[in-house]
Structure 1
Amino acid sequence: MARFTPEFLDELKARLRPSDVIGKYVKLQKRGNAWWGLSPFKPEKTPSFTVDDRRGSYHCFSTQNHGDIITFLIETQGLTFPEAVERLAADAGLVLPIESPAEAARAEKAQGLAEACAAAAKFYQAMLHRADGRGAMDYLRGREVTDAQIDAFGIGFAPSSRHALKDYLLNKGFADEVLVEAGLLIKPEDGGASYDRFRNRIMFPILGTRDRVIAFGGRALDPNAKAKYLNSPETPLFHKGSVLYNFTNARAASADDKKPLIVCEGYMDVIALWGAGIKRAVAPLGTALTEDQLALLWRSSDEPVLCFDGDSAGVQAAHRSIDRALAMLKPGKSLNFAFLPEGQDPDDLLRSEGVAAMNDVLEKARPLVDVLWTREISIRDLETPERRAALRSHLRELVKQITDKDVRGAYGEELSQRLNAQFKPAPRESGSGQGGYGQGGNPFRQSGQWGGRQGQGRPGRGQFDRGMGFRFAAPARPTPGLKSPSQWVREASLVLAAINHPVLLERHEAAYFELDLVDPGLKALLGEVLSAISTDPALDSAGLKSHLTKTGVAGTLERVTHDPQLGNHRFLRPETEIDEVEQGFRNALAHHLFESTHKQEVARSASQIFTDGDDAWKAAAAAREELINSSKPEEDGDEGDSPRRFTDALEKMKQTVEKKFGR
C-alpha cells in the first residue's frame, strides 16, 4: 500500500502542469493567465471551466467544483485517491513511496530537518539587522539591494562565531545530530565538537516545493575566504542538482507576465532582476544546469532564456548547457541564450545602464540551434573539403544524440539547410550535367554540395584511382538511357541494399554520395533515402520504408522490394548479416562502376590513342575486345568476378601498348 507524504504530493504537483493533465480530458484555450473550456461536470455551450497553472488548480463556475489535478481525476475519471496519485506519478516519472516503518521514520526526520532550517533562517535574518551584521548590510547597500529585496528573499547574516547558530538552535530544543544532518553544523571526523558551517557570510535561504527552507547559500564577506560562495551539503531535504533558486516565485511571475523563465548564474543576479521588476529569474546553485533542473524548467516554461556573460567563460557555459540539453529536447521544448556585454553580469548591467538595456539583451536571445551552429563553424577551419566533410559528420553525430524522433528530424533538416547556404556550390557551366541529385540539394545527402562543381575530386586524365590502378580520361557525362534490363537490376541492387540495411550509408557514405544512376526513378528513390537518413540518422529499415511509402517514390520502392531478380541475391535480403551484405555491396558497386563508366572510358580511350597505322589499329581493336569480354560474367561464375577480370585485362592492354609502341 503506497503512502503519500505531503512532500511526495507536493513534488508530484510541482512536476505536472494542471493544463497539461486536464487538457487530456477537456479541450482548453488560453485566455489571459488562465485556460478555459466547457465544463466536464455538466453539459454547456459557453465555457465556464477554468484552469490556472500558477495556482495549480481548476474551478467550474457552473457547478462550483474546485480542486487540483488529483481531485480532477477523482471527480471526472472515477478513480480512488491512490489510483489518481499512481496515474499522475507515472506521468511525472516519480517512483511511488512504499509505506513502512522506515519510510515513516524518514518522513518524520525530514519534518524535523525542515523545522531546523526554518529556525536557522529566522536567526540569520535577525542577525543582519544587529550590530554584528553591519558589514553585511553595508555590502548589500553597496550593491543597491533594498529592504524590499531583503525581505522578499529572506536575506540574512551568519556571524563569525563558531557556535552562534548552534547555541541558538540547541536552546530551541533541536538535537545536535539533527542540525548536523540538516547541513547547519559540521561534525569533525575526529569526534570533536560540532560547529557552525556558515560564518561571516551573507545568507540566502533556498526554498523547496512547499516554499519551506531546505538549504542555504552563503556569500563570504572576507575577500580571503577559500570559497566565495558556499552551499549547504546534500541532505535528505536538499539535492543541489534538482533545485533552482527562486523557482516557485519565478514560475508564478512567468505565468503572470506570459514570458519565459530566465536562468542566471547566481543569487545576486536573480535578486537584482527582481528589484528591476523582472521577477521570473532563477539560478542553479553554483554548477552547470543538470538534467533534473532542465526538466524542472520545461515544466513551467517551453523555452527558458539562459543568460550568460559575453566573455569566453560565459560562452563556454552556454556550450555546456547545449551539450547537456541536446538529448532531452522535445517538441516545443528548447532553450534560448542571451549574452550580456563582456565582463558584465545582470546586476552590473542593471546598475550601469538600467532595465531597458537588460530587456534589450533578453529580447535578442538566440535559439539553441543558432548557438550550436555558431559554435560548430567557428571552432574549426573549413577551407578544405575534408574539413567541411568533418563538420558534416560531426553535426550528424550531434543530431543522433537527440532522442525525440520529431525534433531529431527537424534538427537534421535545419542543419542541412544551413550547410547548404554556408557552402553553396559555384554556378555550373552552361550545358554541364547536374550529376548526383541536382544542385541545391541537401548537403547531408551529396558531397558535391560542399563547394565547387559536382564531381570535383574524382580522378581525371592520367590519375590513379584508389583500388583500381591507372584510369583513362572520364567522359563528360554518363551515357544516357538504359541499354538492357540488367542495367536496371544493377542500379536497383545498390539502392535496395541501402534500404534494407541503412548502416551501409554510414559505412560507405562517399560511395553513395557520388553514385550516378541512369534510371530516373531509382535516382529519385536514392535521393529520398539519403535525405531521410540525413534528417533522421537513427532510422532503421522499417522506419525508412514507412517514410518512403509516403513520398512520390512509393511506386519505385514497391518495384524494387518485390523484384524477383533482386530477391535472388542473398546480400539484398533484410535478414542477411551485415558483413555478408557489405561484401555483396562492394562487389555490386565494383561491377556497376565497371559496366556503367570505366569500360566505356577505356574502350573509347583505346580507340583514340593508337592512330599510327594498321598494326596500331589492330592492337587497339584487340584490346577493346578483350576489355569488353572481361566484364561479362562467366556462365557459372559470380558477377562479382568481372571487375577483377576487367582489371587484369586492363593491365595486359597497358603492357601491350608499352611493349609495341614504347609508351
Structure 2
Amino acid sequence: MRFDERFIDELKARLRPSDVIGRTVKLKRQGREYVGLSPFSKEKSPSFFVNDDKGFFHDFSSGKHGDIISFLQETERLSFVEAVQRLAGEAGMQLPAEDPKEAEREQKRLGLSEWMDLAQKWFAANLRRTPGKAAREYLEKRGLPEDQWERFGLGYAPNDREGLKQALVQRGARPAELVEAGLLIAPDSGGQPYDRFRDRLIFPILDARGRIVSFGGRAMNPDDRAKYLNGPESPLFHKGSTLYGLPEARRILGAESRNDQPIIVVEGYMDVIACQRAGLPAVAPMGTALTEEQMGLLWRISAEPILCFDGDPAGQRAAYRAVERALPLLKPERSFRFVTLSGGLDPDDMLREKGAPALREAMSLTTPFSRKLFEKEMEEVGPLDTPEKEAGLLVRLRKAAATISDPDLARTYKDFLVGAFYQRVRPSPEERKAANRIIYRDRKARSLAPIMDVTPEARAAAMTLARAPRPVLSAIVEGLITYPAMASERGETLATQNFGDVGLDRLIGDLVRLTYEAQAMSEGLLRSRLVALGHEETLRRIDRTASIAHAPFLNSAASLEEAAVGLSRAVDVLLHSLALSRAMNEMKSEQSFDSQAFISLKGQRDALDRFIASGDIWSEAATVH
C-alpha cells in the first residue's frame, strides 16, 4: 500500500506525539516539551524529549530521533505500512483507496484466510484426539508441555487423504479455493484434490501482521521421504518474504526491558519455539537460505540480527552462504552477528538438556560478521603452505571487501581484512609472542584469530596494539570516562595518537571535545552523549578489555586522588611506550641506520612492555604520590 505526502502530513497533524508516545513512556511536561526516561536504553535520569510543536521525539541516550511513525517502528517493531495503518485507525482516517485490481486480490486473500483459520482449528482439535497420540508423544519427548501447544498454534494432520478437505467443504469451501491456499493438492492427472498434510505435526506460519498464511508439517513416519513439508507459494504465502515465528518474536522484543536485544535467526520450527520459550526473540526462514527480502525485514527490526547455526559442517556451510548473500547489502548500521552452537546441540536440545539460562548465555556469545567473513575465506583457501596460497587469500579478501556496495564500509573492511591477514598469516616474532599472551590470558579465546578487531592504518600502530598495551589503553579510556574532569587534561595527549583502530581514535577525539564543551558533565551524561555519537560498539569493546587490565583506579573503592595519580601514571607509561615504537620505526627509514641505537631503543621498549604486561604498572601507580 502506498501513502502520499498529504495523507502522512494529515495523519501527523491529527495526532499529538505526546499522546501516542505517552502510552508507552511516562512523560512529564517541561516547558514547551515533554521529558521522560528513554524507552531504548536503561537510564536513571531522563534524556528522552518529545516536542508536539515540531512533531518529533529525540533520545539523547541512544541518539534515536523521529516522528510518531518511526516511534512505533522502533518500539513495536512494525513496518512503515503497519505503523501508518495503526495510527490511521486511531486518528479516524480512512486509508487511501487502492488500485481496483489490488483490492480484488486483497478480497480474495481475505476469503482464503478464513479457510486457513478454520484449518488451524481443525488441526489443533485433532492433536488432542485419538489420531494425534503419536504427535502428542513426540511433543512430550521434545519437552514441550501441553500448556504451550495453544501458544504456538500446534496441531496434527491425520493420515487421511480427505479429512481436512471434507471438514472445510462441509463449511462451504470449494476444493479449488483450498488448492489455491495450499491446503490441498490437485493431481496433474486431473483427479480429485486431496489433503497436502497427512500424518504430520502441524505448525501454523503467520505473516508479519499475525495472519495464518500457510502451514509447515513434521512427518511422524520416520520413513517419510520429506521430514519437513511447507505449504506452496500462494496468494497468501511467499516463502522468500516470510519468517516463521515473527509475530511472537516482536511481542517478546516489545516486552523486553533490554532494548539492545537483537532478533535471532535459527534453523527450524522447534528451535524457534525453544528460543521463544526462553524469552529470546527468534525466527526461522522457510527451510531455505535467507533471502535478501528476509534480511531487509530483519534489519528493520534489529541493526545486527544474530544468525545461529549448528556447529556441524552443514551448519557452517549455511553460515557461509548467509555471509555471501549479505555481504553486498551491508551498511554501517546494518550487519549480522553469528552464534555457532557446539557439542552437536541445537537450541531445542540445549533448552531441554541445559535449561533456558544456558540457551540465553549461548546466544550472547556472538562472532562479528567481519570475523566470520575472514574465517570463511581462510577455509576456502585451505592450508597456507605456499606463497601462492597466501597471495590467493589476500586477493580473495580484497575482492570480498569490494563486494560491499557502501564505499566507506568497503574501504573499512578492506583495511580490516588485510590487517587481519598480516597478523594471522605473517606475524612478526614480537607479534606472535604478544598474541599468545593475550589469547592465553582468556582461555575461552584460544581458538580465535589474534587481535582480529584491529583495523591497521599503519603496521606500527597495529604492532603496538598487538603487544601488551591494548588492555591498558582500554582501562585508561574507561578511567577518563569514569572521571570526566581528568579527560581534558590527560585525554588531549592521547587524542593526538594513532592507535590503528578507527573506532577507538574517533571515540578518544569525541571524548576530549565533549569535556571541553561541558566541563561539569557527569559520567552518565558523558556516556550517553558518546553513545549518541555512534560509539556504542567501541564502548562495549573497551568495557570487555578494560576488565582484563585490573586497573585499581576503576575500583569503585578508589578515592578521587588515588584515581588521578594512577590514571596519570598509566597514561605516561603508555605514551612512553608508543614514543619508543615511533622512534624505532623512524630510525628504520633513515638512510644511515644506527643498529646500536636501534637495539638500545628496542631494549627499552621491550622492558617497558614487560613492565606493563606484568601488571606492575598498577602497583607502582597506586603508590606514587
Q: TM-score, normalising length from structure 1?
A: 0.54
Count of aligned pairs: 391
Deviation, structure 1 residue 352: 1.5
In the superposition, relative to structure 1, how do residues 423 and 194 fare at CA in structure 2: closer, same or farther (>3 Å)? closer
| Counterpart-to-counterpart distance in 1, 2:56 and 2:279 | 40
Q: What does residue 164 of structure 2 align with?
A: 165
Amino acid at match of 1:371: K
In the superposition, relative to structure 1, how do residues 389 and 74 fare at CA in structure 2: closer, same or farther (>3 Å)? farther
1:38 aligns to what SS in structure 2? Answer: strand
Q: What does residue 387 of structure 1 align with?
A: 389
1:151 aligns to what SS in structure 2? Answer: coil
* Aligned residues of 1:158 and 1:201 also touching (Cα < 8 A): yes
Q: Does 1:152 align with 2:151?
A: yes
In the superposition, relative to structure 1, how do residues 354 and 384 fare at CA in structure 2: closer, same or farther (>3 Å)? same
In the superposition, relative to structure 1, how do residues 442 and 152 fare at CA in structure 2: closer, same or farther (>3 Å)? closer
Q: Does 1:402 align with 2:401?
A: no
In the superposition, relative to structure 1, how do residues 112 and 407 fare at CA in structure 2: closer, same or farther (>3 Å)? same
Structure 2 gaps, min length 5 = 9-16, 22-32, 42-46, 60-65, 431-453, 463-625
* Aligned residues of 2:165 and 2:194 also touching (Cα < 8 A): yes
In the superposition, relative to structure 1, how do residues 387 and 127 fare at CA in structure 2: closer, same or farther (>3 Å)? same
Amino acid at match of 1:252: R
Q: Which has the higher contact order (CA 8 A, sep 6+)?
A: 2
Q: Does 1:288 align with 2:293?
A: no
Q: Which of the two has greater helix per residue? A: 2
Deviation, structure 1 residue 427: 8.1
| Counterpart-to-counterpart distance in 1, 2:363 and 2:332 | 23
Superposed, 1:464-503 pairs within 5 Å as none
| Counterpart-to-counterpart distance in 1, 2:419 and 2:34 | 36
1:307 aligns to what SS in structure 2? Answer: strand
In the superposition, relative to structure 1, how do residues 29 and 323 fare at CA in structure 2: closer, same or farther (>3 Å)? farther
Residues 602-622 of structure 1, C-alpha deviation per residue, up to 9 Å, x if partnerless?
A: xxxxxxxxxxxxxxxxxxxxx
Deviation, structure 1 residue 386: 2.2
| Counterpart-to-counterpart distance in 2, 1:109 and 1:369 | 45
* Aligned residues of 1:38 and 1:49 also touching (Cα < 8 A): no
| Counterpart-to-counterpart distance in 1, 2:199 and 2:57 | 63
2:149 aligns to what SS in structure 1? Answer: helix
* Aligned residues of 1:54 and 1:255 also touching (Cα < 8 A): yes
| Counterpart-to-counterpart distance in 2, 1:421 and 1:246 | 42
2:342 aligns to what SS in structure 1? Answer: coil
Q: What does residue 323 of structure 1 align with?
A: 324
| Counterpart-to-counterpart distance in 2, 1:138 and 1:203 | 14
| Counterpart-to-counterpart distance in 2, 1:45 and 1:130 | 53
| Counterpart-to-counterpart distance in 2, 1:265 and 1:191 | 36
Q: TM-score, normalising length from structure 2?
A: 0.57
| Counterpart-to-counterpart distance in 2, 1:292 and 1:186 | 28
1:400 aligns to what SS in structure 2? Answer: helix
Residues 114-138 of structure 1, C-alpha deviation per residue, up to 9 Å, x if partnerless?
A: 1111110011011111111111111
Deviation, structure 1 residue 336: 0.9
In the superposition, relative to structure 1, how do residues 213 and 44 fare at CA in structure 2: closer, same or farther (>3 Å)? closer
In the superposition, relative to structure 1, how do residues 188 and 70 fare at CA in structure 2: closer, same or farther (>3 Å)? closer
Q: Does 1:135 align with 2:147?
A: no
Q: What does residue 513 of structure 1 align with?
A: none
Residues 56-99 of structure 1, C-alpha deviation per residue, up to 9 Å, x if partnerless?
A: 699xxxxxxxx9447979999xxx988xx8xxxxxxxxxxx962
* Aligned residues of 2:398 and 2:418 also touching (Cα < 8 A): no
2:303 aligns to what SS in structure 1? Answer: coil
Q: What does residue 545 of structure 2 align with?
A: none
Q: What does residue 573 of structure 1 align with?
A: none
In the superposition, relative to structure 1, how do residues 182 and 413 fare at CA in structure 2: closer, same or farther (>3 Å)? same
Q: What does residue 51 of structure 2 align with?
A: 39
In the superposition, relative to structure 1, how do residues 396 and 151 fare at CA in structure 2: closer, same or farther (>3 Å)? same
* Aligned residues of 1:302 and 1:332 also touching (Cα < 8 A): yes
In the superposition, relative to structure 1, how do residues 255 and 401 fare at CA in structure 2: closer, same or farther (>3 Å)? farther
| Counterpart-to-counterpart distance in 1, 2:55 and 2:403 | 47
Residues 322-362 of structure 1, C-alpha deviation per residue, up to 9 Å, x if partnerless?
A: 01110111112111111112421111122122223222321
* Aligned residues of 2:303 and 2:333 also touching (Cα < 8 A): yes
| Counterpart-to-counterpart distance in 2, 1:45 and 1:232 | 43
| Counterpart-to-counterpart distance in 1, 2:322 and 2:36 | 33
Residues 233-286 of structure 1, C-alpha deviation per residue, up to 9 Å, x if partnerless?
A: 0001100111000112202312432211111100001112222x2240111111
**Percent identity over the alignment?**
41
| Counterpart-to-counterpart distance in 1, 2:55 and 2:226 | 62
Deviation, structure 1 residue 407: 1.7
| Counterpart-to-counterpart distance in 2, 1:355 and 1:75 | 39
Q: What does residue 364 of structure 1 align with?
A: 365
2:308 aligns to what SS in structure 1? Answer: strand
* Aligned residues of 1:156 and 1:203 also touching (Cα < 8 A): yes
Deviation, structure 1 residue 45: 12
Deviation, structure 1 residue 406: 2.2
Q: Which structure has the larger Rg? A: 1
Superposed, 1:110-125 pairs within 5 Å as 110-125=109-124
Deviation, structure 1 residue 305: 1.0
| Counterpart-to-counterpart distance in 1, 2:398 and 2:416 | 12
| Counterpart-to-counterpart distance in 2, 1:155 and 1:230 | 15
In the superposition, relative to structure 1, how do residues 341 and 328 fare at CA in structure 2: closer, same or farther (>3 Å)? same
Q: What does residue 99 of structure 2 align with?
A: 99
* Aligned residues of 1:297 and 1:304 also touching (Cα < 8 A): yes
1:211 aligns to what SS in structure 2? Answer: coil
Q: What does residue 269 of structure 2 align with?
A: 267
1:106 aligns to what SS in structure 2? Answer: helix
| Counterpart-to-counterpart distance in 2, 1:158 and 1:177 | 20
| Counterpart-to-counterpart distance in 2, 1:45 and 1:426 | 52
Deviation, structure 1 residue 378: 3.4
In the superposition, relative to structure 1, how do residues 167 and 415 fare at CA in structure 2: closer, same or farther (>3 Å)? same
In the superposition, relative to structure 1, how do residues 71 and 296 fare at CA in structure 2: closer, same or farther (>3 Å)? closer
In the superposition, relative to structure 1, how do residues 256 and 333 fare at CA in structure 2: closer, same or farther (>3 Å)? farther
Deviation, structure 1 residue 422: 2.2
| Counterpart-to-counterpart distance in 2, 1:44 and 1:273 | 35
Q: What does residue 600 of structure 1 align with?
A: none
1:191 aligns to what SS in structure 2? Answer: coil
In the superposition, relative to structure 1, how do residues 43 and 187 fare at CA in structure 2: closer, same or farther (>3 Å)? closer
Residues 422-444 of structure 1, C-alpha deviation per residue, up to 9 Å, x if partnerless?
A: 2446589xxxxxxxxxxxx9999
Amino acid at match of 1:195: Y
Q: Does 1:174 align with 2:176?
A: no
* Aligned residues of 1:420 and 1:443 also touching (Cα < 8 A): no
* Aligned residues of 1:33 and 1:256 also touching (Cα < 8 A): no
1:174 aligns to what SS in structure 2? Answer: coil
Q: What does residue 527 of structure 2 align with?
A: none
In the superposition, relative to structure 1, how do residues 43 and 328 fare at CA in structure 2: closer, same or farther (>3 Å)? closer
Amino acid at match of 2:265: V
Residues 539-564 of structure 1, C-alpha deviation per residue, up to 9 Å, x if partnerless?
A: xxxxxxxxxxxxxxxxxxxxxxxxxx
* Aligned residues of 1:149 and 1:271 also touching (Cα < 8 A): no
Q: Does 1:229 align with 2:215?
A: no
Bigger shift: residues 346-355 or 124-133: 346-355
Amino acid at match of 2:355: G
Q: What does residue 253 of structure 2 align with?
A: 254
Amino acid at match of 1:382: L
